[in-house]
A and B are shown apart, each in its own frame.
Chain A
Amino acid sequence: MIRGVITRGVITSRRVSLALAAGFLALLYLGALGAGFLAPYGFDEQDREHTYAPPVRLRFRDGGGRLHLRPFLYIGVEKPGAPGVYEEDRARAFPVRFLVPAPPGRTGARVRLFGVEEPARIFLLGTDRFGRDQLSRLLYGARISLFSGLLAAGLAVALGLLAGAVAGFRGGWLDQVLMRTSELFLALPWLYLLLAVRAVLPLDLAPSGSFLLLVAVLGAVGWARPARLVRGAVLSARGRDYVLAAQGFGGSDGYVLRRHVLPQAVGVALTQLALLVPQYVLAEVAMSFLGLGVAEPVPSWGTMLAELERYDVLISYQWMLWPAVLLTGVVLSYHTLAEHIRERLQAGEV
C-alpha cells in the first residue's frame, strides 16, 4: 500500500519533470523562431549611451503612490564620473506599449510584442558592452545555438543510421572498414577532434556560412557512436525469422532494410538524438566561445559568454550570465527527455 503510494508519487513527479522539460524547450524554440516579433530590438542595435546598463525596473506605482495597470519605466542615466552606475531620471514616465510597429530592417517582422517610446529604452535583461539589448540577443542567439545543435545531431544520427545499416547489413570488408574508422573517431577527445576539423577549414566566413560549416563539422564528427549502436540493432534484426522470410520471398536488399530492419533501430537512433542534441548545443557554444563559430555581431550564446572571459565584466554585470543559465536549463531538459525515452523503450521491450 505504502509502496504503491510512493511509486505513484515518483511517477507523477517524473511526469511533472517531463512536462517541465518539454515545456521549457518548446518555449525556447518558439522564442528563437519568433525572435523578430518577441525581441524589442535588433540583435546588432547599439546604444552607446547605455553600455552595461542593468535590467530596467518595471514599475506599477508612480511617485504620487497611484497604482497603474500598465507598467512603466524611467530612463536610466549613467552617473557622470561613475561608469556603469545608472540612476533613474524620474522626470518623465514611459509606459510600456504592446504590439508596436517595428522599424523597417532585416528582422522581417512588422510588429513587435512590446516596446517603449524613444528616447526611453526597455532593457529587460540589461545590455552588453555596446549597449545591445541582452534579451534580444538571447532570443536571436538561441536561433544559432539551439538549431545548430538540433541540425547537427540530426545529421550525425542520419550518417550513423546510414553507416550502421550498411555495415550491419552488408558485413564483410565494408563492415570492417567502417567499424575500425568509427573506433578511430571514438578514440579521440571530441573537442580536440572538433578543433582539428575546424582547423583545416577557412576561418573568416559569413555568419550563415560558418553556421552551416559548424553544423556539418559537428555532424561529421559525431556519426561514430550512433553508427555502432545502429549496427548492433541491424545485426540482431538481420537474423530474425521475419527478415529471412522477406528475403526468401524475393524482397530486394533496399526493401528489406527499409521495411523490416531499420524500424528496429529507430529507438536507438531516437535515444542517441536526445543525447546528442544537448552535447552539440554545448559544442556550438564552446566553439563560438573560443572564436571558431559564428562571428560578431551575430549573437550565439557562446559569443555572448565570451565577453565574460574578462572577469571584471563577470563580477560587475551579473545579468550577462543569462546565456549560461538558459544553456544549463536546455541541457537538463534534454537529459530528462532522453531518460524518459530510454525508460519507455525498456518498458516496451519487456
Chain B
Amino acid sequence: MSTPLVEPPASAARRSYLGDGNTIASWLLTKDHKRIAILYLISITLFFFIGGAFAVMIRLELLTPQGDLVSAETYNKLFSMHGIVMVFLFLVPSVPATLGNFLIPLMIGARDLAFPKVNLLSWYLLIAGAVLALWAIVSGGVDTGWTFYTPYSSTYSNSYVMLAATGVFVAGFSSILTGLNFIVTIHKMRAPGLTWGRLPLFVWSHYATSLIQVLGTPVLAITLVLLGFERIAHVGIFDPHIGGDPVLFQHLFWFYSHPAVYIMILPGMGVVSELITCFSRKRVFGYGFVAAASLAIAVLGFLVWGHHLFVSGQSVYAGMVFSLLSYLVAIPSAIKVFNWTATLYKGSISYATPMLYAFGFIGLFTMGGLTGLFVAALGFDVHVHDTYFIIAHFHYIMVGGMVMAYMGGIHFWWPKMTGRMYPEGWAKFAALLVFAGFNLTFFPQFILGYMGMPRRYHAYPPEFQVLNVMSTAGASILALGYLIPMIYMLWSMRYGAIAGPNPWGAVGLEWQTSSPPPTENFIRTPIVTEETYHYSDEEKTIV
C-alpha cells in the first residue's frame, strides 16, 4: 500500500473499521489501533469484574467483626489478588490502552500509531501476563499483597508468588510498549499544523503518562527479576543473611509504583479536561498550565517514592525530604483542579452523563488529593500508616478519580467508537449510583482508619462494625452502578440511536471523521489551522 495520499474510492471510504472483516482472525491479528483498543476494552472489562469479585468477597467478610466467611489465609489472598488484578491488569492499561489507543491517532490526524505491530504485541503481552496471574489465582492464589514485599515474598510465602510476579513482569512490558508507541506517535505523526501548543490536553496527559511508563516500569521489571532470583536461589540482594536489605526492595518497588499511581491518574485527568471543555462550550482555562502540570506531575512523581517508607526504617532526614517533595505534587494537581473549575465559569454548561462523571472526578479527586497531603505529613502518616485511612485515600484517587474518568470517557467517546448513542436516562442514573455508592463505600473508611482500624485483617473489634456495614452497603450500590452500564452499553451497540459524526458538537479532529471512523481514520489527512478548543459563540448551543 504505497500511495496513502491518494483518495480511496468512495465505497471504501464509507466502510467503518468495524465492518472491515468480522472473522476471529480479523480481530486477533488486526493492526488497526481502533480494533486493538476494542480488544483492550473487552479484556480489561473482564479483569475489572474479576478484580471486583475479590472486592465483593473482601467486603462480605468485613460485614461482621469475626473472621467467619473466609480464613485469614484466604483473606490475605483475596486482598492480594484484588490489588494485583486491579492495578496491573485494569488501572494501568485502563484509559491509555483503550481510549488512548483509539483516540490518539484520531486526535493528531494520523492513520495509526507509529508501530501497529508493536501495539498488537502489547495487547498479547497483557493477555499473557493476565493468563499467568490468573493461573496463579486458580492454582491457589498469592498472599503477599500486591506489593510483593521481601522477605515475605522471597522466602516465607508458600503461595504462587513466582507465577503472579512473572505475570506482572510480562504485563509491564505491555505497558512499556504502549508508552513507547505513544511517545513516538506524538512526536512524529502529528498532522500538518498541529503544533505542540495545539495538542489536545488528552494527548498531553498521555505523553506524560508514557514517559512514566517507559522510565518507571523497567525498574519494576528488574526488581521482580531480583525477587525471582532470590526466591529460586534462596540467596539474593535483599537477603539479610548475606548483608542484604529488604528495605531496598521497597525503594525499588516504589520507585516504579509511586509514579505508577500517576500512570493511573494522568490519563484520567486528560479525559476530564476534554469533558469539561466540551460540556462548558469553552476553551480550557490556562491551557498551557494544564499541559505543563501533566509533565510536572510526571517528573515530580519520580521523586516522592520514599513517602511509602516513613515507617520502614528509612532515615528521618530522607523522610523529611520525601515529605516536602510529596507536598510539591499538590501544586500541579491543584493547578488542574482550579483550571477545570475556572473553565466552568461563565461556560454554557450541560449535564450529559460524561459531564456528571467529570464533576464526580473533580470532587472525589480533590478529596483523595487533599488526604494525600495528610499522609505526606510525617507525623500524621505514622498514625494512619497501614490503616483504612490509606485505603480510603488511594481509592478516592484510583476509583473516585481514574474509574470515574474512565467511565466518563467511555460514555463520551462511545458514539465515536460504535456509531451509536447509549441511553442517556439510564446512564445518568448509573452515574449517580456510582457516585453515591462510591462515597458510601469509602468515606467510612477514612473514619475507620483514623480510629485505628488496620488494613489487611479479616477480623476487627466490634465497635468498628457500623462503619464497615455502611462500607459494604455502599460497595453493593457501587457494583450495581458498574453493572448497569455494562448492560446498556451492550444493548446500545444494536439498538442505540445512530450518533452521527459529532453528537456533542465537540471540537477536536476525532469528531471530524465519521462514527465509527473508517479504517484509515481520515479520507484526507487533516490540516490544522486553529488552536484546540476553539469553541466560538455560535457553537455555544446546549446539546
Q: Do A and B bind each other?
A: no
Interface residues in chain A, defined as those with a beta carbon under 8 Å from any beta carbon in chain B? none
